[in-house]
Every structure is written in structure tokens, then in C-alpha cells.
Homo-oligomer: A and B are copies of this chain.
Amino acid sequence: MRYNTLDKRNYKIPVSSIHYTALAEMTFVKDTYMKKQKISDAVIHRLPRYYRYLDDLYHKGVLRISSSSLGNKMDITASQIRQDLSCFGEFGQQGYGYNVAELRAEIGHILGIDYGHRLIIVGAGHLGHALLQNFDFAKAGFHVDSAFDISPALIGKTVGSITIRSMDELDAYVAQYRPDVAVLTVPQSVAQPLASRLIDMGIRGFWNFTNVELSADGEDVFFEDIHFVDTLLTLSYRISRT
């Protein structure tokens, strides 16, 4: 059922025969050689939103949906949905639309939700604490391995099922358990040196809650920044001119 268009002559091979990671990065050209097909940031940033809407439909028991009715709900064009999805494969059926459960699973898979990523929380102050208490990491397919802080008042404390460890144990812990992602809920001043240290230890993903932009020279590292101030300023801009 699921096929992927591979070259200009529309020669198709089953998606299942290609490793998924590779799929998003390549497309075949006429001579059947591979060539990188970059997925634009605009598309990538829409994927979680697609997932959110499909997950909602799924839990409401909706079985199928067309690009046009999904577009209505999401306030985007049906064309955009079909164009976006076509970056990753063919998930629909003419005359029918998309099977909600199937498309939800496919997009979840593209997002890596079923990969079993593990993360650590570095900085267990109010914000780190709030994430530990409230945030449903499993919803994004993540498992919280451990949390770290320098404060003696916090070390040893248990939040949910997680016991806060001393920062002194960080290096040994990362070396042994090799988490995929570090959540940075530390003061700004220590963010970059800490990130550099974690990168050296092999961590390649950062969920960065500090208000600084982090850098990793040359390495294959990804930062996802939550810039609270920036979003609040955007809101300030909008309400200031009406």
C-alpha cells in the first residue's frame, strides 16, 4: 500500500525496503543514484502539528479524513498537506483520503516517537522541577532517565520516580547510560560550558530553556530552544499595534 516515488519515471518501490532514516534524506534520480532531498524547516515544523491533530482525531474515534477536511480544521490548504506528506511517502488513497490511525502512526514514526529516546534533566530548579512533575515526556516518546542539580538541598530528593543526582555524577552517568537528549534548565551563565561538556560526552540533542543560543562547532548537534522572552516579546509586539 505505502510506496514512495523514486525517480522521474515514477518507478516505485515499497517504502519498507528502505531504512526509514535514509528515506527522508534521499530520493532517486533517473539514473537510480541517490541524491539528498532536503526537507525544509517549514515542513518539519508542521509535522508535530499534524501529529497533534491526527492524535486528537484518533482519540475521538475518527477513522478517516481527507486532506481538505484536515486542512479546514488546521486552517491550512489541502495542497499544503498533500505536498508536505509527499516528502515522506504516499499515505493516502484516492477517493478515500487518509486512514487516521495509519497516518498518525506514520507521522509519529517520522518524528521518531517510537524510537525510545532517553533524556536527562540538567538543572532541577523550579522549571526543571515543573517539567519533572507535570510534563508528559512519554507523549513525545521520551523517557526521563535522571535529573541533576548542584544544590545540596535538591540532591537526593525524589520527584515522581526520579531521584535528583549531584552534578558531580553527571560525567560518569552520561558515559555509562548515554542518554540521547539533555534538557537544559540551568542558569544562563553556565549553559554554554555545560552544553560543550555534554557534547564532548556524546550528547547530540538539547532542549534548551536558557535564553542563550548555544553553539557546537562543526558537530552534528541539534538545539531546540524555548526562548520564553522572545515569544513574550512577539506577543507584546502584536498587542501594541491595534
A residues with CB within 8 A of B: 21, 24-25, 44-45, 47-49, 51-52, 110-113, 115, 117, 125-127, 129-130, 133-137, 139-142, 180-181, 204-207, 211, 220, 222, 224, 226-242
The answer to whether residues A47 and B237 also contact, given A140-B229, A204-B242, A232-B142 and a CB cut-off of 8 A, is yes
Q: Is the CB of A232 within 8 A of B204?
A: no
Collect the chain B residues with CB atoms within 8 Å of residue A181's CB: 235, 239
Minimal beta-carbon separation of A215 from chain B (angstroms): 9
5 closest A-B pairs by beta carbon, nearest first, are A112-B240, A126-B130, A48-B230, A48-B233, A224-B235
Contacts of A220 in B (CB 8 A): 242
- List chain B residues, Cβ under 8 A from A133: 126
Report A162 CB to chain B, min CB distance, Å.
Answer: 14
Contact A142 B236 (CB under 8 A): yes
| Number of identical monomers bound together in the oligomeric complex | 2
Please name the residue on chain B nearest to A215 by beta carbon: B75
Considering residues A24, A48, A125, which has the most beta carbons from chain B within 10 angstroms of its beta carbon?
A48
Contacting residues, chain B, for A127 (C-beta < 8 A): 130, 134
Other than the given A224-B231, A224-B238, 19 more pairs (CB < 8 A) read: A25-B241, A44-B237, A48-B230, A52-B211, A52-B227, A112-B239, A112-B240, A126-B133, A126-B134, A139-B229, A140-B229, A141-B236, A142-B232, A142-B236, A181-B239, A220-B242, A222-B238, A222-B239, A224-B234
Task: Find the B residue at minimum CB distance from A204.
Answer: B239
Q: Is the CB of B229 within 8 A of A52?
A: yes
Q: Are B44 and A205 in contact (CB under 8 A)?
A: no
Contact of A207 among B21, B125, B232 (CB under 8 A): B232
Q: Are A230 and B126 neighbours in the complex by a CB distance under 8 Å?
A: no
What are 30 inter-chain pairs, A to B, with CB distance below 8 A? A21-B242, A24-B241, A44-B237, A47-B233, A47-B237, A48-B230, A111-B233, A111-B236, A111-B237, A111-B240, A112-B236, A112-B240, A112-B241, A113-B236, A125-B134, A126-B126, A126-B130, A127-B134, A140-B233, A140-B236, A141-B233, A142-B232, A180-B239, A181-B239, A204-B239, A207-B235, A220-B242, A222-B239, A224-B231, A224-B234
